[in-house]
Chain A
Amino acid sequence: MIGALPLAAIPPEDEALRPEIRAFLQEAVGEIPPERRARSWMGFDPGFSRKLAGRGWLGLTFPKEYGGAGRGAFARYVLVEELLAAGAPVSAHWIADRQSGPLIQRFGTEEQRRFYLPRICRAEAFFCIGMSEPNTGSDLASVTTRAVREGDGWRLNGAKIWTTNAQHSHYMIALVRTSGAPGDRHKGLSQIIVDLHAPGVRISPIRDLAGDAHFSEVVFEDVLLPGDALIGEEGSGWMQVNAELAFERSGPERVLSSAVLLDEWANWLREVGAGEAAEALLGRLIAHLAVLRAMSIAVTGRLVEGESPIVEAALVKDLGTEFEQMIPTVIAETLARPGLVAPGSLMRTLAYTAAIAPSFSLRGGTREILRGMIARGMGLR
């Protein structure tokens, strides 16, 4: 069975970053209306990403020799926490900074590191993740997109779907089959970097239920890729993807997706006053936030110590997304009173958050899949 998470704190040298970030954000996002800031890490704005890059805040954890700041996971924690709480539009660089860059750093060749990492730090290379396919969701090992050796390079055929930002990105890191058949499951899978401007790549944005088009379907038809498109070892795609997902599951983005709505509502209560019932709800949400944040920091502490707390991360994500989904639910409940006059911006922020909230427990692994991982950690399967 998994053991309790000891309390961990953000080191003072990383906390020290916070005032500068907050001052920057006040100026950079203060004027954006809350219903836009509510897009959280789905808000796309390359100009904003370039501004962050100008501050040296992209690739904060990448080594200095590749253009990064050489800071630890807790420095990035502080940065991300402030960005998300403010509702800054971080989506353009988000995946490259959180996932693709660290993956390239860990599994890439020296040439790949020298090529991609500095570009990520300058906000010149945006990435997307090509895992899901039309017939491959939770059962990721069933991917059928295939890269076949051709000369020194690869020929790629297949399709990816739900790819966040594919239409705006420069590169996709795709999980593809490089040998064997779908029945071989996780054997024969590899990760490959696809230049999305290569001939044969067709990207069709998909409109979401909130009216945005943040994800796409991506079809590959005889896309020819150079040999160095392969990232990591051929056949190690499954292991690499899982290492990647552990980092993706326990950060502040699994707690703060509804933070803008929560603060809009709380600020409004501060202005107009709250009754006992609204106070109790607010207190409840704050209590959950505090506990989740401490859990998320504790898991980060384990990652920093070089451990691989996969089950604990799954646990934080499931609880965190439940909290994120609870926020629009309970706020809607308190605002649904006959005759109540609430600001339009609050109602628009609520409408967006309530509409998109079901996605919180799908992206990055569904609730049921995470609970299956926890059950395995508890020795039940």
Chain B
Amino acid sequence: MTDLQQRVEQLLASHDPTTTEPADFLGAQFDAGLAWVHFPEGKGGLSLARGRQLEVDALLEAARAPRPDVARNSIGLGMAAPTLLAYGSEELQQRHLRSLFACTEIWCQLFSEPGAGSDLAAVATRAVPDGDEWVIDGQKVWTSGAHGADFAILLARTDTSVPKHAGMTYFVVDMADPGIEVRPLRQITGEAEFNEVFLTGARVHDGNRVGAVGQGWAVATTTLNNERVAIGAGADREAGQIGLVTERWRTDPSVRTPGTHAELLRWWVETEVTRLAGERLRQSLEAGQPGPESSAMKLAFAHQAQKVSGFALELAPEEGLTYHDWTMVSPERGSFLGHGPGYRYLRAKGNSIEGGTSEIMRNVIAERVLGLPPDHRPDKGIAFKDVPR
């Protein structure tokens, strides 16, 4: 038995996975260094290779241990945690890493604004210093899960006299601040998974700053690269949309036609190859932060999720004409695979927009991976306040 296996055994022995409260179990998992084994000791990890987390997860899975609620806290787990580890102060790390892993803290991401989507570096929400605090004013949009979030990662402008990339700062914000108002935004599925968030005189202590003043872009890039890994990461063969389709195919001969068979096999191969590419990326990421290469996985994932979920409707057309429920709700957790095929088809449309659009992913690959010459940028080198908009 390896040391790592022994640690998992010890955790399971001291905290019965079937009776321990999920939050307590996850807290103990964090304390044992088994939350993210590639994190340092005392911060949920053991400074091991990233890939060894899979061993831990497999053992915990087999023991039916409580797992972090990834659908509810994807921003906290997939984005805030690695960013805090890379740039957060010791105090911020101690305050948040454990609770966000235990999912007693749910997080959201206050990045996008009406005027700053793909061009995220154009954020206009201002953060102005006031003693040892910052005062935040502005509007964010498309904020998934803001209605259930305890904390947010926020990108705000702290200096308008320098070019856009240089004048931003990154903060951790308490969503309970009275200066924050969350309004649901209904999306094409009928649900309101995302929101508009208005910040009016919201106050943030300087201790909640992540990284240096003006370093926000570098910090946000770490978040986004991790987001793209989180979105693009596959796991088992036939996981995701393709699995729902193959199961239907195997159990319901009435859906089988020669044309759909050919198409099914094309998607099977494409999704299998993407799974292998994700695995290959994971193997090469054993150490270190994900780089722009992760954009390719995100691009592949979005394309396939959209095509395969659309194909699922054609496979069973009578069912495809129906919809599970149009009632407006603000769901507690995001879901790509839940509800009916109609919901999955519509929700997948967001996959090529959220976390950076597919067009932006192609720009990133072309310029940052392949090194092609940059596009023409009229705002280059111009102070943010002087850029015409």
Q: A and B: partners? A: no
Q: Chain B interface (Cβ within 8 Å of chain A)?
A: none
